[in-house]
Structure 1
């Protein structure tokens, strides 16, 4: 991040939408609401859900309606559908767009990334407390280098978000 900060704009005092735990902020980032959730213990019905999922509309739902291509890339293949994001039905509706991080690298190299790419690292690489921040730095560096090497670099917006 240091090298990126020296070359590009950064937010020095960027605060989360919900000053609390990670999962409400994941929801806010992808749906525009945390449904009143204040921590990682979910009141599932707070957005009207009748099951153990949040039903609200996501950015992925809207991109499908608008015909915008997108991909959700995982640093490693998830063994199961698990948090932080699979508790939103809109994320589950986008399962056909989930891909491995290796696919992100291939598509970037070939100039074939979709209009919107969401990269989700393994939990250990997310800069969460008690994790080795070097792992998160390495993932961000790799994403940056992959994008920078792409023929589409000059028309790419790279936005790195740590929650």
Structure 2
């Protein structure tokens, strides 16, 4: 008798759990996690192939960034890695124009974001290059949310400003700020 009651109780519990899953709105548990704003900051290293010169030319851009990300929900900051790949159709020592770049961000908690940048601008002031990219998260954490990446690039120590005239600038290092804007509810 006791085993029948135990079996009936277990089956009833399973039915209740199953119906609560079926009636809950889809994605409700994850909604806040994937819609919150995120700000990531850290070191960014870029290389150019071929090197940047005074004359604009198509250039492949490779960037690796080590971020510390802070979430709008107020939870603890965590490290993340960003990997950017793409092409600037008319890059020069004065900046990148109309870059087509994607960034893959891997967070310490295992989540990921794939970002597509579709516009950019460059500002050079006193030897510092400010590269601003904007786009959208196309997959993963923050999907559909708008993104802005701003990086201040300094000339590498082993390269001289005159390298732009001669062999070209092979890369830059700087500080990046990546912002995935909070989605409107």
TM-score band, normalised by the shorter chain?
A: under 0.3
Please state which structure has a larger fraction of its residues in strand.
2
Structure-1-length-normalised TM-score = 0.21
Please state which structure has a larger fraction of its residues in helix.
1
Structure-2-length-normalised TM-score = 0.19
Higher RCO (CA 8 Å, separation ≥ 6 residues): 2
- Looking at CA atoms only, which structure, 1 or 2, has the larger radius of gyration? 2
